Structure 1
Amino acid sequence: MIITSGTLSALFTAFKAEFQNAQAATPTDWARIATLVPSSSASNTYGWLGQFPTFREWIGERVLKNMAAHGYSITNKKYESSVGVPRDAIEDDEIGVYKPLFAEMGRASTAHPDELVFALLKAGLTTLCYDGQFFFDTDHPVYPSTDGTGDAVSVSNYQEGTGPAWYLLDVSRAIKPIIFQNRRPYALKAMTSMDDEQVFMRDEYRFGVDARVNVGFGFWQFAYCSRAPLTAENYGLARAAMKNFQADGGRPLGINPGLLVVPSQLEGAARTILVKDANSGNPWAGTAEILSPAWLG
């Protein structure tokens, strides 16, 4: 093959098609537990975390509520994946050898949010959220007085144990337990200019994918973690704890724990609790869906 600017343009079009087809065809799970938030700056500050909207009877003037002054920020990070294609391979018409590589790059770009989101979920026992506590903790401060002030009481969304962690989540809200922040989406780019210095020095054309994204925690009240055995009894305790969560001021939150997220070694136990026919004596059948992503192990 004679290499010209037109040849290189057609080559990039072919590689990009492989990348985009695989990107679109790759299944993901992250959107089930994370809310996509667009970003237009280096970081986003979520000062409203901790404030739950509620209604009251309108008597007299409106009562304006100050936003909770939580300085919880998510700073975007840059990620990249790059490959080089030798000029000789193009001249020798070996392009087909590289097409699967670009398809894999497309798959990896779609799967990367899964990696980030579920890695953060696993790190919830050691990573702070908006209230200054670990996301999964035994002493989240909640202010029960009607004006949301006074002494705080400690509320737990974690059950201690020594086994693999499992998670019960409320994913029915506009804000899910985790936030996926997108500043610049994953896109394939090329360095194939005939007069590029690196092309001249290395006799190689470069292709790369990059993005600016990051993940962070939303409301801890929408998630519960347990390292106790996954039994019907412990599942029931987790549901009861979540349904009793209240906002500052003692207002019920109406939590709906509808997704049980488990690692592969607990998928059978989860199905025994949730999928087994209720007529066989299982009171929890159908009370939540099961998600067992490969990223949890």
Structure 2
Amino acid sequence: MARVITAALLDAALRGYKTIYQNAFAAAPSMYASVATIVPSTTREEIYSWLGDMPKMREWIGDRRVKQLTAKGYSITNRKFEMTIAVERDDIEDDKLSLYNARFQMMGQSAAQHPDEIVFELINGGFSTLCYDGQNFFDTDHPVGQPGQETSVSNMQAGSGEIWILADLSRPLKPFIFQKRRDYEFTTKEDGRTSDHVFMKDQYLYGVDARVAAGFGFWQMAFGSKAELTSANLRAAYTAMTEFKDDEGRKLNIKPTHLIVGNTNHFKARDILMSEQINGSTNVDRNLVQLLHAPLLG
């Protein structure tokens, strides 16, 4: 005999599925918070005018030198995402709710890892997507210096291989930004027989949605390469980052902390950073930086 679908029964189903979703969401591994600063958003679009100036202390001689926000006009517009699961009315009547548990677990895991997808989608496009200074994030021509006296600075190596990135992830603002307007919220549309969808499709709908986006922070915090991952290329990128200066010619004191690699370079990176010896000689690059394997990179 089929169960009568009451408001109490639907509430119990919602609580059960929501708990399954939340547990899977909390348990899912993710990487975006390691490479991106999480910034709350309060509107459709956020303008990051302060990205034109990396703060640095100076000796106080005379009046304070007030740092004005540079009108770079870099903005990040939030995007909307959703995922919806339909539960057949017959399965609720027949007490078959457990058939959907795995799908709601997958929903929770997918939602938790979705920021990784949009952050690394952004990173993969870093060689062809503009950042705050009007240049591609990974570029050879970042203008540095006072107006009219700028010089071009590079944070990239050209090549045709899989992307690898050297990054300083030690600071409050990381190289990339994950902007969050509305978090990944589990919800349902259904309210019994009054739902149009239930009436027409004989299904109850449960879903998750969010308003989020990814964007670039300071290009000085990351060095991108498509060249072969070798000790020489890694050292060249490392040295270049430590030499980065602000517009006043002062070193930014950047020290790379992580090498971010995709699947193709994973074992090569392990050899460079973890092997005690290479070709019978002491590996002087061992533990130079930490290794971060990002399957979505490249």
Fold shared by both chains (TM-score > 0.5): yes
Measured against aligned partners, the alpha-carbon deviations of 1:243-265 in whole angstroms (never above 9, x if no partner) come to: 11111111101111111011111
1:156 aligns with 2:158: no
What's 2:205 paired with? 206
Letter in 2 for 1:30: Y
What's 2:71 paired with? 69
In structure 2, distance between residues paired with 1:6 and 1:159? 61
Specify the SS of the correspondent of 1:21: helix
What's 1:92 paired with? 94
In the TM superposition, residue 278 of structure 1 has moved relative to its aligned partner by: 6.7
Letter in 2 for 1:227: K
Measured against aligned partners, the alpha-carbon deviations of 1:2-59 in whole angstroms (never above 9, x if no partner) come to: 2100000000000001100000000111111100000011111000002121222223
Letter in 2 for 1:296: L
Contact residue 184 and residue 208 of structure 2 kept, 8 A: yes
In the TM superposition, residue 209 of structure 1 has moved relative to its aligned partner by: 0.4
Aligned with residue 29 of structure 2, among 9, 27, 30 = 27
Specify the SS of the correspondent of 2:49: coil
Contact residue 278 and residue 284 of structure 1 kept, 8 A: no
In structure 2, distance between residues paired with 1:207 and 1:247? 50
Identity of aligned residues (%): 47
In the TM superposition, residue 156 of structure 1 has moved relative to its aligned partner by: 0.6
Letter in 1 for 2:273: L
Unaligned runs of 5+ in 2: none
In structure 1, distance between residues paired with 2:160 and 2:86? 46
Farther-moved stretch of structure 1 (271-280 vs 105-114) = 271-280
In the TM superposition, residue 60 of structure 1 has moved relative to its aligned partner by: 2.6
Specify the SS of the correspondent of 1:295: coil
In structure 2, distance between residues paired with 1:162 and 1:193? 55
In structure 1, distance between residues paired with 2:17 and 2:68? 52
Specify the SS of the correspondent of 1:111: helix
Alignment TM-score, normalising by the size of structure 1: 0.96
Aligned with residue 179 of structure 1, among 177, 180, 188 = 177
Specify the SS of the correspondent of 1:127: coil
Specify the SS of the correspondent of 2:46: strand
Aligned ranges for residues 273-292 of structure 1 at < 5 Å?
Answer: 273-277=272-276, 280-292=281-293
In the TM superposition, residue 192 of structure 1 has moved relative to its aligned partner by: 2.1
Farther-moved stretch of structure 1 (148-157 vs 73-82) = 148-157
In the TM superposition, residue 189 of structure 1 has moved relative to its aligned partner by: 0.5
What's 2:19 paired with? 17
Letter in 2 for 1:282: N
What's 2:196 paired with? 197
Unaligned runs of 5+ in 1: none
Letter in 1 for 2:262: P
In structure 2, distance between residues paired with 1:193 and 1:163? 53
Letter in 2 for 1:65: K
In structure 2, distance between residues paired with 1:154 and 1:60? 31
Letter in 2 for 1:135: F
What's 1:109 paired with? 111
Contact residue 188 and residue 208 of structure 1 kept, 8 A: yes
Alignment TM-score, normalising by the size of structure 2: 0.96
Aligned CA-pair RMSD: 1.3
Farther-moved stretch of structure 1 (271-280 vs 201-210) = 271-280
Contact residue 78 and residue 210 of structure 1 kept, 8 A: yes
Contact residue 245 and residue 255 of structure 1 kept, 8 A: yes
In the TM superposition, residue 82 of structure 1 has moved relative to its aligned partner by: 0.6
Q: How many residues align?
A: 293
In the TM superposition, residue 222 of structure 1 has moved relative to its aligned partner by: 0.5
What's 2:133 paired with? 131
In structure 1, distance between residues paired with 2:296 and 2:57? 39
Farther-moved stretch of structure 1 (185-194 vs 18-27) = 185-194
In structure 2, distance between residues paired with 1:44 and 1:127? 18
What's 2:82 paired with? 80
In structure 1, distance between residues paired with 2:297 and 2:99? 32
Specify the SS of the correspondent of 1:48: helix
In the TM superposition, residue 227 of structure 1 has moved relative to its aligned partner by: 1.2
In structure 1, distance between residues paired with 2:162 and 2:35? 19
Contact residue 163 and residue 297 of structure 2 kept, 8 A: no
In structure 1, distance between residues paired with 2:238 and 2:248? 22
What's 1:265 paired with? 264
Farther-moved stretch of structure 1 (35-44 vs 274-283) = 274-283
Contact residue 82 and residue 207 of structure 2 kept, 8 A: yes
In structure 2, distance between residues paired with 1:184 and 1:46? 19
Letter in 2 for 1:285: R
